[in-house]
Structure 1
């Protein structure tokens, strides 16, 4: 049943992505966070302690509710248990959605529509995009797909393999907390501290696993595995995040491009360390190569895990 659940969840994500007409747990988690934030801020005098409580309540509640739902479904009927497990596993994965949203940037550039590309990129990145040229737009799309191959694809799949749908859902709760309160500004510096730090911890292994998978998958995508390996070693830590640099370095090395550099946030230019060497210019071919890396890395992880389970069951 584990194999059926995992393979089925991956295939459903590939085929359907996140249909908007279906309820999504992340939306419910986001509303729960928004509901709890003002109450916990008032309840605790210490904002950092309030943030710790938010993390524990949101992640713990998500894990507990999903576990209870799965148990009830299995008790009702095995088919219901499989169905609920498949659904939770499916909506925790985001390969198809990541491809679809980033593809809007590429589609606009294919039509020569820089303005449309800037708008499309603004939906998936935090940087300002209104003055970016074509190469910078492509850099933004490549960086987003590379980084989120870890956060949105490999990490939830890793936790799905490790602890089933409940653990995958708890990971998504942690990731959602970080995206909502994990900012280094006056409002969230203390309150969001626990969520941001715990998200770093939760992504430590998946980020490095993603880089390894990209190194192994690169030759399957007609890209450079050697380049990916060398850039992970050299530039994997060239990032303000302790994790994001590893998948970005693997992608940059596999593609032979340079990522990082200047980005503008709220009118302020931020110079980020560069990742990779500019052996070829950033082009739509680089974006497409990053998407191939994402899918190939996910399939490689699933394939290795399934093979391991089959061998283990044989013994």
Structure 2
């Protein structure tokens, strides 16, 4: 597994997610959308019925996208072990999203450098759930930085940790939960009950990886000669100041490292959602903070890879 994970990470660093390549997460998304419609027809409306439907949606989706790749890999291995090796490395590479996150977040940076705030808001809208139409330049920067910091866990370190444990099948199972949360894990009228199981499972699976990522991001701040001491202080103080138990773990470390304040109240689907602030506003955010946040993500990812590789080696040595 050490070699597979290292190769997959290297491929993600080099190639990212090519637009011409159909991504497996789109398959998961289409499955979720179709199954949701079917379950809504079969389960009664209301709190109990929707929660039961949401639980079925989560369990069936996770099991399917664990056992399906597991079965395919087993079948391919019977043809030739090297074919299974190559296929699993390719799938693991697709599960990671470091370069694509950097590419998409830097589109906001490029628009800001061209003084095109309208385009920056549009680029940001593809990355975040909040309303972006009326955000100021500073708010656009902070939203982009928050996305980079939060998705360091969801897109890189957490799937890396799960794949180190259970290869591509467990990686797909994690991404299934992650995709469920992004599609149905909202606290609005439509998904308040149906999305409960998916949102809670996402919180459970990310609980440990998010805290590991936060600590690694603090270490990255020291290595990059950002404000590592403030990153550590903010991590200790603000890492639980979020509606999610996991999102602020890396956001707090990032805010402290950069010396800016993240979080606060924002509009989602036309309604204000109150969130606590994270970090201290030692200065106003600037476009360069987007590039700095990406460096933090990159170094955090490298440290996580090194840690997982060491963990695999020790586990192999002991067992």
**TM-score band (shorter)?**
over 0.9
1:296 CA drift (Å): 0.4
Is the Cα contact below 8 Å between 2:2 and 2:313 reproduced in 1? no
The superposition leaves residues 75-100 of structure 1 with CA deviations (integer Å, 9 ceiling, x where unpaired) of 21122111111111011111011101
1:270 CA drift (Å): 3.1
1:115 CA drift (Å): 1.1
- Aligned residue number for residue 28 of structure 1: 27
- Aligned residue number for residue 6 of structure 1: 5
Task: Tell me, yes or no, if structure 1 residue 264 matches structure 2 residue 267.
Answer: yes
> Larger relative CO (CA 8 A, sep 6+): 1 or 2?
2
Task: Tell me, yes or no, if structure 1 residue 81 matches structure 2 residue 80.
Answer: no
Number of residue-to-residue matches in the alignment: 314
1:128 CA drift (Å): 1.4
Corresponding residue to 1:63 among 52, 63, 66: 66
- Aligned residue number for residue 232 of structure 1: 235
Corresponding residue to 1:273 among 265, 273, 276: 276
The superposition leaves residues 242-284 of structure 1 with CA deviations (integer Å, 9 ceiling, x where unpaired) of 1101110010111111111231223333332110011232112
- For 1:307 and 1:54, the matched residues in 2 are separated by 36
Is the Cα contact below 8 Å between 1:221 and 1:289 reproduced in 2? no
How has the CA–CA distance of structure 1 residues 63 and 136 changed in structure 2, closer, same or farther, with 3 Å as cutoff?
same
- For 2:15 and 2:183, the matched residues in 1 are separated by 26
1:27 CA drift (Å): 0.7
Is the Cα contact below 8 Å between 2:161 and 2:308 reproduced in 1? no
Q: Provide the aligned C-alpha RMSD in A.
A: 1.5
- For 2:160 and 2:107, the matched residues in 1 are separated by 25
- Aligned residue number for residue 221 of structure 2: 218
Q: Which runs of 5+ in 1 are unaligned?
A: none
- For 1:76 and 1:283, the matched residues in 2 are separated by 54
Is the Cα contact below 8 Å between 1:214 and 1:293 reproduced in 2? yes
TM-score w.r.t. length of structure 2: 0.94
Q: How does 1:1-315 map to 2 (within 5 A)?
A: 2-45=1-44, 46-310=49-313
- For 1:36 and 1:311, the matched residues in 2 are separated by 41
